[in-house]
Amino acid sequence: MARQEKKKDVVIVGLGWTGSIAGIELAQEGLDIVALERGHDQDTVPNFEYPQQIDELKYGVRLKMMQKPSQQTLTVRRNDGETALPYRSLGSFLPGNGVGGAGTHWNGLNWRPQPVELKLRSHVRDNWGEQIIPEGMNLRDYPISYDEMEPFFTQFEKVAGISGYAGNLNGEIREGGNPFEGWRSEDYPMPPLPTTYDASKFRDAAKAMGYHPFEAPAGIASTAYVNPYGMQMGPCNFCGFCERYGCYQYSKSSPQTSILGALKRMPNFEYRTKSEVLRVELAADGKTATGVTYWDEEAGEEVFQPADIVILSSYQLNNVHLMLLSGLGEAYNPLTGEGTLGKNYAYQMNGGVSMFFKEDNFNPFVGHGANGQVIDDFSISQNDFGAEGFIGGSYWRAGTFNGQPIRNMPLPKGTPSWGAGWKQGIGEWYGHAMSIGSHGSHMSYANNHLDLDPTYTDRHGRPLMRMTFNWQDNDLRMNQFMKRKMEPLAASMNPDIMQAGFKDIGAQYDVRPYQTTHNTGGHIMAENAREGAVNRYSQTFKAHNVFAMGAGNFVQNTQYNPTGLVGGLAYHTVHAIRTQYLSNPRPLV
């Protein structure tokens, strides 16, 4: 018999970016709120303090900020014919753990999607015709436009504290910014960060080829800053420990730095850690939720938490898993196209070129996660899909982000992986290499989806989620296009040695090497319940008092890091709850 807690107005499942946003915005309405967090509590002080945080083995390699697969994981297969096997140790992607979630250990790259990315099917249809869409690609429009989202992107950027320079200010294209971005109603809250040596070399080479370099938009403070909630950030010192770490000096945007300090001071908000939600409980009529049941780790028992509104704000994979387990929609069937939960899982298609310069010192340890110069000249809005034979695009970036030697030791091809030759190689090349990365879009396909595994279970006896995922030709062709365009640019920089790393046609998904933690889709937004799991307000079609936020909403992945869109959608959702739902709880249209 589950213990029952006192009813709340709102229960929030997962206290990362979207849970924190929902928490503070709904707390401002005077609602009584509890957030349930599976992991531990953590804050800048004491958990991210210098020097303990500067520990590559503990955090970078042993991944002590991440979800432990022994707690929660999933199974993976590359096609319906394979038996899915558990993702036993983390590799390809790294969901976070504890308060702050992935928003604590991210790199800080904060992008808005391009306007055409939110209406991509229409963009394709209007310019080339729908016949260029490959069979099996579930290409869709988002049920919301860039213009509608713009105020919410701006709001998130002010809260998170983003550094950059607007390239399109109310339609005016400005030199030094990104000329291909969507319009901005205001400039970034902070000016751009300084440019490191490798980024300056890339910038100069890109300019010489007629491209349009700009400083990457960074969730990294370039100056002292106070955000709308009164939270303070201090300028980054380029310590080089962003990704996989908490920031020790209040410079990286995170729920802790930007929201939680203010939220915790509100008397109508409380949060409970080590509280893993097991299922959302539906009312007898199946049309609303009554609350959630969670596992109280300390007490060792199940607890029912009644609430009028349920906000699902855990990591994308875990949101989808919880919705599948709770019957918050029907599981997607790739053969019939019926069902919506688990549909349109997507990822990211990345590649890059490494360059070695014997005489140059890059000091790779001087950097931050969102460092560098970028070009968007091969972005989604710039590519001729009809002529090139793919739908998609990427942004390119060069900038030092960490010089941590266990994981970041680029060596020329042919250098032995051990022995005297390896030792000589690390002495010769450490600090003398730079790279340009291509960070590319990933479309959604019938073949790539999420459902429940028939064999493996978690520590609570629940089926693990099963991921069916493999690389698809469309995105691989995009990647090869980027290789062809990037190599001449890299060569123009006259490195002593250069080598490209781009997946080619036929590449099979490998769960071992880290690729990116940009898992998207699975509870996608749509105009109607037949096509998606949530509406434009992230409200589930199944139960109108359940809202599912995060990258699970993405109908296909954009070419950018997802956080800017995730944050914008979260503000859009809570705005709708505040202005439309609370006064009259119902399915919003």
Partner 1 sequence: MTDLPGYPSRRSFLKATAAGAALSGLALPASAQQVPQPVSLDDYQREYLNAEEWAFIMAATARLIPSEGDGPGAIEARVPVFIDRQLASDYGTADDWYMEGPHDASAEPARGWQTPLNPAEVYRQAIPAFNDWCTQAHGAVFAELSVEQQDAALTSLQNGDVALAPELREFWGILLGNTKEGYFADPQYGGNHGMQSWVYIGFPGARAAYREWPERHNVKYPLGPVSISGERA
Return d(Cα 492, Cα 290) in angstroms, integer.
Answer: 62
Work out whether 511 is an interface residue with partner 1 (CB under 8 A): yes
Query: What separation in angstroms does the CA of 362 have from each of 197, 375, 398?
Result: 6, 20, 12
Residue with Cβ nearer partner 1 (128 or 422): 422
Contact predicate 258/16, CB 8 Å: no
Using the contact rule CB under 8 A, the part of the chain among 44-52, 140-148, 156-164, 302-310 near partner 1 is 44-52
Beta-sheet pairing, 289-296 with 301-312 = antiparallel
Residue with Cβ nearer partner 1 (349 or 549): 349
Contact predicate 94/317, CB 8 Å: no
**What residues numbered 58-77 form the site for partner 1, per CB under 8 A?**
61-63, 68-70, 73, 76
Beta bridge partners of 375: 396
Annotation says 572 is catalytic: no
Q: Is 144 helix (H, G, I), strand (E, B) or coil?
A: coil
Contact predicate 148/176, CB 8 Å: no
Residue with Cβ nearer partner 1 (239 or 353): 239
Residue 278 tokens read as: 């097991």
Return d(Cα 85, Cα 75) in angstroms, integer.
Answer: 5
* Residue with tokens 């992986």, as numbered in its chain: 417
* Active-site pick, 105, 321, 432, 518: 518
| Amino acid letter for position 36 | L
Nearest distance in Å: CB 579, partner 1: 43
Work out whether 240 is an interface residue with partner 1 (CB under 8 A): yes
Work out whether 4 is an interface residue with partner 1 (CB under 8 A): no
Q: In what order do the strands lie in the sheet with 74-77?
A: 85-86, 74-77, 463-468, 449-457
Work out whether 52 is an interface residue with partner 1 (CB under 8 A): yes
Residue with Cβ nearer partner 1 (264 or 459): 459
Work out whether 336 is an interface residue with partner 1 (CB under 8 A): no
Using the contact rule CB under 8 A, the part of the chain among 13-21, 78-86, 107-115, 558-566 near partner 1 is 78-86
Work out whether 224 is an interface residue with partner 1 (CB under 8 A): no
Could you count the other beta carbons within 10 Å of the beta carbon of residue 416? 12
Nearest distance in Å: CB 39, partner 1: 13
Peptide bond into 191 cis (omega under 30): no
Contact predicate 380/116, CB 8 Å: yes
Residue 227 parent element (H or E) = none
**What residues numbered 408-427 form the site for partner 1, per CB under 8 A?**
417-420, 422-424, 426-427
The site that binds partner 1 (CB under 8 A) totals a number of residues, namely 65
Work out whether 183 is an interface residue with partner 1 (CB under 8 A): no
- DSSP letter string, 12-36: EE--SHHHHHHHHHHHTTT--EEEE
Nearest distance in Å: CB 73, partner 1: 5
**What residues numbered 343-382 form the site for partner 1, per CB under 8 A?**
360-361, 363, 365-367, 371
Q: Which residues make up the interface to partner 1 (CB under 8 A)?
A: 50-52, 54-57, 61-63, 68-70, 73, 76, 83, 85-89, 91, 193-197, 200, 235, 237-241, 248, 360-361, 363, 365-367, 371, 403-406, 417-420, 422-424, 426-427, 430-431, 455-457, 508-512
The residues annotated with a catalytic role in the active site are: 518
